[in-house]
Copies of this chain bind each other. A is one copy, B any other.
Protein backbone atom coordinates (compact mmCIF):
# COMPACT_ATOMS: atom_id res chain seq x y z
CA UNK A 1 0.00 0.00 0.00
CA UNK A 2 1.17 3.54 -0.77
CA UNK A 3 1.32 6.46 1.62
CA UNK A 4 -1.18 9.29 1.58
CA UNK A 5 -0.04 12.90 1.96
CA UNK A 6 -1.99 14.94 4.51
CA UNK A 7 -3.89 18.07 3.49
CA UNK A 8 -7.00 19.92 4.58
CA UNK A 9 -8.59 18.95 1.25
CA UNK A 10 -8.78 15.34 2.48
CA UNK A 11 -11.11 16.30 5.26
CA UNK A 12 -10.93 14.91 8.77
CA UNK A 13 -14.17 13.95 10.51
CA UNK A 14 -15.64 14.68 13.95
CA UNK A 15 -14.49 11.17 14.91
CA UNK A 16 -10.92 11.28 13.53
CA UNK A 17 -9.34 11.69 16.96
CA UNK A 18 -11.06 8.51 18.10
CA UNK A 19 -10.15 6.65 14.93
CA UNK A 20 -6.48 7.53 15.36
CA UNK A 21 -6.46 6.65 19.05
CA UNK A 22 -7.99 3.25 18.17
CA UNK A 23 -5.01 2.51 15.92
CA UNK A 24 -6.44 2.87 12.42
CA UNK A 25 -3.83 1.43 10.03
CA UNK A 26 -5.08 2.62 6.62
CA UNK A 27 -7.62 4.89 5.00
CA UNK A 28 -9.35 5.49 1.75
CA UNK A 29 -10.66 8.84 0.54
CA UNK A 30 -14.40 9.08 0.01
CA UNK A 31 -16.25 12.27 -0.77
CA UNK A 32 -12.95 14.11 -0.22
CA UNK A 33 -12.90 12.86 3.37
CA UNK A 34 -10.93 10.18 5.23
CA UNK A 35 -12.59 6.79 5.64
CA UNK A 36 -10.84 4.15 7.78
CA UNK A 37 -10.28 0.79 6.07
CA UNK A 38 -8.24 -1.31 8.53
CA UNK A 39 -7.82 -1.40 12.30
CA UNK A 40 -6.26 -4.66 13.50
CA UNK A 41 -6.20 -6.44 10.12
CA UNK A 42 -8.88 -6.79 7.48
CA UNK A 43 -9.34 -10.43 8.51
CA UNK A 44 -9.39 -9.73 12.24
CA UNK A 45 -11.82 -6.82 11.76
CA UNK A 46 -14.00 -9.14 9.64
CA UNK A 47 -14.18 -11.85 12.29
CA UNK A 48 -14.90 -9.35 15.04
CA UNK A 49 -17.64 -7.63 12.99
CA UNK A 50 -19.44 -10.93 12.60
CA UNK A 51 -19.19 -11.81 16.30
CA UNK A 52 -19.33 -8.66 18.37
CA UNK A 53 -20.02 -4.97 17.69
CA UNK A 54 -18.08 -2.15 16.04
CA UNK A 55 -18.29 1.61 15.90
CA UNK A 56 -17.62 3.00 12.41
CA UNK A 57 -16.67 6.54 11.40
CA UNK A 58 -18.79 6.86 8.26
CA UNK A 59 -18.90 10.65 8.28
CA UNK A 60 -17.93 10.36 4.60
CA UNK A 61 -21.61 9.60 4.02
CA UNK A 62 -22.20 13.32 3.63
CA UNK A 63 -25.76 14.59 3.60
CA UNK A 64 -27.44 16.62 0.91
CA UNK A 65 -30.24 18.46 2.67
CA UNK A 66 -33.22 19.62 0.62
CA UNK A 67 -35.71 21.96 2.25
CA UNK A 68 -38.62 24.04 1.01
CA UNK A 69 -41.96 23.88 -0.79
CA UNK A 70 -40.51 22.14 -3.88
CA UNK A 71 -38.40 19.63 -1.92
CA UNK A 72 -40.60 16.63 -2.65
CA UNK A 73 -40.79 17.45 -6.34
CA UNK A 74 -37.00 17.82 -6.58
CA UNK A 75 -36.30 14.52 -4.80
CA UNK A 76 -38.59 12.66 -7.21
CA UNK A 77 -36.74 14.28 -10.13
CA UNK A 78 -33.54 12.61 -8.90
CA UNK A 79 -34.66 8.99 -8.89
CA UNK A 80 -36.69 6.41 -10.80
CA UNK A 81 -37.89 4.98 -7.49
CA UNK A 82 -41.50 6.01 -6.82
CA UNK A 83 -41.45 8.06 -3.61
CA UNK A 84 -45.17 8.75 -3.32
CA UNK A 85 -45.74 6.19 -0.59
CA UNK A 86 -42.75 7.22 1.49
CA UNK A 87 -43.48 8.45 5.01
CA UNK A 88 -41.50 10.63 7.38
CA UNK A 89 -39.29 8.30 9.42
CA UNK A 90 -38.49 6.04 6.47
CA UNK A 91 -35.20 5.44 4.64
CA UNK A 92 -35.19 4.44 0.96
CA UNK A 93 -32.21 3.15 -0.94
CA UNK A 94 -32.45 4.95 -4.27
CA UNK A 95 -30.57 5.00 -7.54
CA UNK A 96 -29.91 8.56 -8.73
CA UNK A 97 -29.55 8.82 -12.50
CA UNK A 98 -28.75 11.44 -15.13
CA UNK A 99 -30.78 12.15 -18.26
CA UNK A 100 -29.40 9.02 -19.96
CA UNK A 101 -30.19 6.78 -17.00
CA UNK A 102 -26.53 6.59 -15.92
CA UNK A 103 -25.96 6.15 -12.19
CA UNK A 104 -24.74 9.32 -10.46
CA UNK A 105 -24.91 7.90 -6.94
CA UNK A 106 -26.74 5.22 -4.93
CA UNK A 107 -27.61 7.00 -1.69
CA UNK A 108 -30.03 6.36 1.13
CA UNK A 109 -32.84 8.90 1.22
CA UNK A 110 -34.29 9.98 4.58
CA UNK A 111 -37.61 11.74 4.72
CA UNK A 112 -37.61 14.04 7.73
CA UNK A 113 -40.82 15.83 6.75
CA UNK A 114 -42.79 16.58 3.61
CA UNK A 115 -40.56 19.57 2.97
CA UNK A 116 -37.26 18.33 4.42
CA UNK A 117 -35.09 15.44 3.20
CA UNK A 118 -31.57 14.16 3.68
CA UNK A 119 -29.73 12.23 1.00
CA UNK A 120 -26.95 10.17 2.56
CA UNK A 121 -24.56 9.89 -0.35
CA UNK A 122 -22.06 7.45 -1.81
CA UNK A 123 -18.80 8.69 -3.37
CA UNK A 124 -19.68 11.50 -5.80
CA UNK A 125 -20.45 15.20 -5.28
CA UNK A 126 -24.17 14.66 -5.67
CA UNK A 127 -24.68 18.05 -4.00
CA UNK A 128 -23.57 19.70 -7.26
CA UNK A 129 -26.05 17.77 -9.40
CA UNK A 130 -28.92 18.54 -7.00
CA UNK A 131 -27.97 22.22 -6.82
CA UNK A 132 -27.62 22.45 -10.60
CA UNK A 133 -31.00 20.86 -11.23
CA UNK A 134 -32.68 23.03 -8.58
CA UNK A 135 -31.09 26.12 -10.13
CA UNK A 136 -32.01 25.20 -13.69
CA UNK A 137 -35.62 24.36 -12.90
CA UNK A 138 -35.87 27.40 -10.61
CA UNK A 139 -37.27 25.30 -7.78
CA UNK A 140 -38.18 26.85 -4.46
CA UNK A 141 -35.74 24.85 -2.33
CA UNK A 142 -32.60 25.23 -0.25
CA UNK A 143 -29.91 22.64 -1.02
CA UNK A 144 -26.94 22.34 1.34
CA UNK A 145 -24.42 20.03 2.99
CA UNK A 146 -25.35 20.33 6.67
CA UNK A 147 -23.01 19.64 9.59
CA UNK A 148 -24.19 16.03 9.92
CA UNK A 149 -21.83 13.05 10.22
CA UNK A 150 -23.10 9.49 10.45
CA UNK A 151 -21.55 7.13 12.99
CA UNK A 152 -22.45 3.49 12.39
CA UNK A 153 -22.79 0.75 14.99
CA UNK A 154 -22.63 -2.65 13.27
CA UNK A 155 -22.49 -6.27 14.36
CA UNK A 156 -24.74 -8.76 16.17
CA UNK A 157 -24.45 -6.93 19.51
CA UNK A 158 -25.48 -3.56 18.05
CA UNK A 159 -28.90 -3.51 19.75
CA UNK A 160 -27.34 -4.22 23.11
CA UNK A 161 -24.78 -1.49 22.71
CA UNK A 162 -27.19 1.15 21.50
CA UNK A 163 -29.72 0.31 24.21
CA UNK A 164 -27.05 1.05 26.83
CA UNK A 165 -26.50 4.55 25.47
CA UNK A 166 -29.94 5.52 24.15
CA UNK A 167 -32.35 3.25 26.04
CA UNK A 168 -34.27 0.13 25.10
CA UNK A 169 -36.57 1.99 22.71
CA UNK A 170 -33.88 1.77 20.01
CA UNK A 171 -34.57 -1.97 19.81
CA UNK A 172 -37.96 -1.17 18.30
CA UNK A 173 -36.56 0.71 15.31
CA UNK A 174 -37.49 -1.33 12.24
CA UNK A 175 -35.18 -1.92 9.28
CA UNK A 176 -34.72 1.23 7.20
CA UNK A 177 -36.77 3.28 9.66
CA UNK A 178 -35.47 5.99 11.95
CA UNK A 179 -36.43 7.78 15.11
CA UNK A 180 -35.09 10.56 17.33
CA UNK A 181 -33.27 9.77 20.57
CA UNK A 182 -31.69 11.88 23.25
CA UNK A 183 -27.94 12.06 23.81
CA UNK A 184 -26.76 14.51 26.47
CA UNK A 185 -29.69 16.81 25.77
CA UNK A 186 -29.41 16.63 21.97
CA UNK A 187 -31.88 14.92 19.63
CA UNK A 188 -30.14 12.42 17.38
CA UNK A 189 -31.58 10.66 14.36
CA UNK A 190 -30.95 6.91 14.57
CA UNK A 191 -31.76 4.59 11.66
CA UNK A 192 -31.59 0.82 11.49
CA UNK A 193 -29.26 0.63 8.49
CA UNK A 194 -25.60 0.33 7.59
CA UNK A 195 -23.10 -0.99 5.08
CA UNK A 196 -22.85 -4.56 6.42
CA UNK A 197 -25.06 -7.64 6.68
CA UNK A 198 -24.44 -8.03 10.42
CA UNK A 199 -27.22 -5.71 11.57
CA UNK A 200 -26.94 -2.38 13.27
CA UNK A 201 -27.64 1.31 13.18
CA UNK A 202 -26.47 4.62 11.80
CA UNK A 203 -26.54 7.63 14.10
CA UNK A 204 -26.72 10.93 12.23
CA UNK A 205 -24.65 13.23 14.45
CA UNK A 206 -25.77 16.82 13.94
CA UNK A 207 -23.01 19.12 15.17
CA UNK A 208 -19.28 18.45 14.90
CA UNK A 209 -18.69 18.94 18.64
CA UNK A 210 -20.93 16.00 19.56
CA UNK A 211 -18.77 13.56 17.60
CA UNK A 212 -16.16 12.59 20.17
CA UNK A 213 -18.53 12.63 23.19
CA UNK A 214 -20.74 10.11 21.38
CA UNK A 215 -17.76 8.03 20.21
CA UNK A 216 -16.45 7.87 23.77
CA UNK A 217 -19.85 7.07 25.24
CA UNK A 218 -20.25 4.13 22.87
CA UNK A 219 -16.77 2.83 23.60
CA UNK A 220 -17.30 3.04 27.35
CA UNK A 221 -20.78 1.50 27.30
CA UNK A 222 -19.57 -1.31 25.04
CA UNK A 223 -16.54 -2.46 27.00
CA UNK A 224 -18.32 -5.64 28.20
CA UNK A 225 -19.61 -6.29 24.69
CA UNK A 226 -16.09 -6.30 23.25
CA UNK A 227 -16.82 -3.17 21.22
CA UNK A 228 -14.02 -2.04 18.92
CA UNK A 229 -13.48 0.66 16.34
CA UNK A 230 -14.20 -0.74 12.88
CA UNK A 231 -15.04 0.25 9.36
CA UNK A 232 -16.82 -1.06 6.28
CA UNK A 233 -15.10 -4.40 5.72
CA UNK A 234 -13.80 -5.19 2.26
CA UNK A 235 -14.51 -8.90 2.58
CA UNK A 236 -17.86 -8.87 4.35
CA UNK A 237 -19.43 -6.31 2.04
CA UNK A 238 -18.54 -8.41 -1.01
CA UNK A 239 -19.90 -11.57 0.63
CA UNK A 240 -23.10 -9.62 1.20
CA UNK A 241 -23.28 -8.21 -2.32
CA UNK A 242 -23.22 -4.61 -1.12
CA UNK A 243 -22.20 -2.55 -4.13
CA UNK A 244 -19.74 0.32 -3.94
CA UNK A 245 -20.33 3.30 -6.24
CA UNK A 246 -17.13 4.05 -8.15
CA UNK A 247 -15.98 0.44 -7.76
CA UNK A 248 -18.82 -1.77 -8.93
CA UNK A 249 -20.73 0.84 -10.90
CA UNK A 250 -20.14 4.26 -12.43
CA UNK A 251 -22.11 6.77 -14.46
CA UNK A 252 -21.64 4.39 -17.40
CA UNK A 253 -24.09 1.95 -15.81
CA UNK A 254 -27.86 1.94 -15.56
CA UNK A 255 -29.58 0.80 -12.36
CA UNK A 256 -30.74 -2.30 -14.23
CA UNK A 257 -27.17 -3.29 -14.96
CA UNK A 258 -26.41 -2.91 -11.27
CA UNK A 259 -29.21 -5.26 -10.29
CA UNK A 260 -31.23 -2.31 -9.00
CA UNK A 261 -34.14 -2.69 -11.41
CA UNK A 262 -36.45 -3.40 -8.46
CA UNK A 263 -35.87 0.18 -7.28
CA UNK A 264 -36.93 1.59 -10.65
CA UNK A 265 -40.64 2.33 -10.92
CA UNK A 266 -40.25 3.94 -14.30
CA UNK A 267 -43.98 3.60 -15.06
CA UNK A 268 -45.02 5.72 -12.08
CA UNK A 269 -41.99 7.83 -11.07
CA UNK A 270 -43.33 10.86 -12.90
CA UNK A 271 -40.87 13.72 -13.21
CA UNK A 272 -37.73 11.60 -12.85
CA UNK A 273 -34.86 12.86 -14.99
CA UNK A 274 -33.70 9.97 -17.16
CA UNK A 275 -37.07 8.24 -17.09
CA UNK A 276 -37.32 8.08 -20.88
CA UNK A 277 -33.97 6.33 -21.15
CA UNK A 278 -34.83 3.90 -18.35
CA UNK A 279 -38.22 3.05 -19.83
CA UNK A 280 -36.30 1.81 -22.83
CA UNK A 281 -33.92 -0.22 -20.65
CA UNK A 282 -36.77 -1.62 -18.57
CA UNK A 283 -38.47 -2.85 -21.72
CA UNK A 284 -35.43 -4.49 -23.29
CA UNK A 285 -33.53 -5.48 -20.20
CA UNK A 286 -29.82 -4.84 -19.67
CA UNK A 287 -27.18 -6.61 -21.74
CA UNK A 288 -24.80 -6.87 -18.82
CA UNK A 289 -25.45 -7.18 -15.10
CA UNK A 290 -23.75 -7.32 -11.72
CA UNK A 291 -23.04 -10.89 -10.61
CA UNK A 292 -21.32 -12.68 -7.72
CA UNK A 293 -18.06 -14.13 -9.01
CA UNK A 294 -16.14 -16.85 -7.15
CA UNK A 295 -12.40 -16.93 -7.79
CA UNK A 296 -10.34 -20.02 -7.21
CA UNK A 297 -7.07 -18.76 -5.74
CA UNK A 298 -4.96 -19.11 -2.58
CA UNK A 299 -4.33 -15.34 -2.53
CA UNK A 300 -5.46 -12.21 -4.37
CA UNK A 301 -3.80 -8.85 -5.05
CA UNK A 302 -5.68 -5.65 -4.17
CA UNK A 303 -8.30 -4.93 -6.80
CA UNK A 304 -7.14 -1.42 -7.70
CA UNK A 305 -8.36 -1.56 -11.30
CA UNK A 306 -10.80 -3.44 -13.49
CA UNK A 307 -9.91 -7.13 -13.94
CA UNK A 308 -11.19 -8.45 -17.30
CA UNK A 309 -13.40 -11.54 -17.22
CA UNK A 310 -12.60 -13.82 -20.15
CA UNK A 311 -14.36 -16.71 -21.84
CA UNK A 312 -11.39 -18.09 -23.74
CA UNK A 313 -10.04 -15.11 -25.69
CA UNK A 314 -13.26 -13.16 -25.49
CA UNK A 315 -13.82 -10.45 -22.92
CA UNK A 316 -17.27 -10.94 -21.42
CA UNK A 317 -17.13 -8.75 -18.35
CA UNK A 318 -15.00 -7.43 -15.53
CA UNK A 319 -14.38 -7.87 -11.83
CA UNK A 320 -14.40 -4.61 -9.85
CA UNK A 321 -14.07 -5.75 -6.21
CA UNK A 322 -12.44 -8.90 -4.88
CA UNK A 323 -11.15 -10.39 -1.64
CA UNK A 324 -10.29 -13.73 -0.13
CA UNK A 325 -13.06 -14.95 2.19
CA UNK A 326 -11.99 -16.75 5.38
CA UNK A 327 -15.52 -18.10 5.97
CA UNK A 328 -16.10 -19.39 2.45
CA UNK A 329 -12.55 -20.42 1.63
CA UNK A 330 -12.48 -18.85 -1.81
CA UNK A 331 -12.10 -15.55 -3.57
CA UNK A 332 -15.35 -13.57 -3.43
CA UNK A 333 -15.87 -10.89 -6.02
CA UNK A 334 -18.34 -8.54 -7.67
CA UNK A 335 -18.33 -8.37 -11.44
CA UNK A 336 -20.30 -7.02 -14.38
CA UNK A 337 -20.97 -9.83 -16.86
CA UNK A 338 -22.49 -9.81 -20.33
CA UNK A 339 -25.80 -11.59 -20.89
CA UNK A 340 -24.15 -14.35 -22.92
CA UNK A 341 -22.16 -15.50 -19.90
CA UNK A 342 -24.07 -14.39 -16.82
CA UNK A 343 -25.84 -17.67 -15.99
CA UNK A 344 -24.90 -19.23 -12.67
CA UNK A 345 -22.25 -21.90 -13.08
CA UNK A 346 -20.58 -20.31 -16.09
CA UNK A 347 -16.84 -20.97 -15.94
CA UNK A 348 -14.60 -18.04 -16.84
CA UNK A 349 -11.11 -16.70 -16.18
CA UNK A 350 -10.29 -13.42 -14.50
CA UNK A 351 -7.15 -11.55 -15.54
CA UNK A 352 -5.45 -10.08 -12.48
CA UNK A 353 -2.15 -8.18 -12.54
CA UNK A 354 -0.61 -11.38 -11.14
CA UNK A 355 -2.00 -13.66 -13.83
CA UNK A 356 -5.21 -15.40 -14.90
CA UNK A 357 -7.33 -17.25 -12.34
CA UNK A 358 -10.35 -19.57 -12.70
CA UNK A 359 -13.64 -17.81 -11.94
CA UNK A 360 -17.27 -18.92 -11.76
CA UNK A 361 -20.50 -16.94 -11.98
CA UNK A 362 -22.64 -17.66 -8.92
CA UNK A 363 -26.39 -17.51 -8.40
CA UNK A 364 -26.34 -15.59 -5.13
CA UNK A 365 -23.96 -13.58 -3.01
CA UNK A 366 -22.53 -15.43 -0.07
CA UNK A 367 -24.44 -13.88 2.83
Contacts and interface: CB of A to CB of B under 8 A. Distances in A.
Interface of A: 1-10, 12, 24-30, 32, 37-38, 98-99, 104, 123-126, 128-138, 234, 244-247, 273, 302-306, 320-321
A133 B131 CA distance: 8
A7 B303 contact: yes
Nearest to A4: B4
Quick one: which of A1, A98, A134, A304 has the most chain B CB within 10 A?
A304
Contact of A246 (B32, B126, B136, B304): B32
A140 to B, nearest CB: 13
A132 B1 CA distance: 36
Copies per complex? 2
B2 A26 contact: yes
Given A2-B4, A4-B1, A8-B306, A135 B133 contact: yes
Contacts of A7: 28, 244, 246-247, 302-304, 321
A91 to B, nearest CB: 23
A5 B129 contact: no
Contact of A5 (B38, B125, B133, B136): B38
29 contacts: A1-B5, A1-B6, A2-B4, A2-B24, A3-B26, A4-B4, A4-B27, A4-B29, A5-B37, A6-B302, A6-B303, A7-B246, A7-B303, A7-B321, A8-B246, A8-B247, A8-B306, A9-B246, A9-B247, A10-B29, A29-B29, A104-B128, A124-B128, A128-B128, A129-B132, A132-B134, A132-B136, A133-B135, A135-B136
Contacts of A304: 6-8, 10, 12
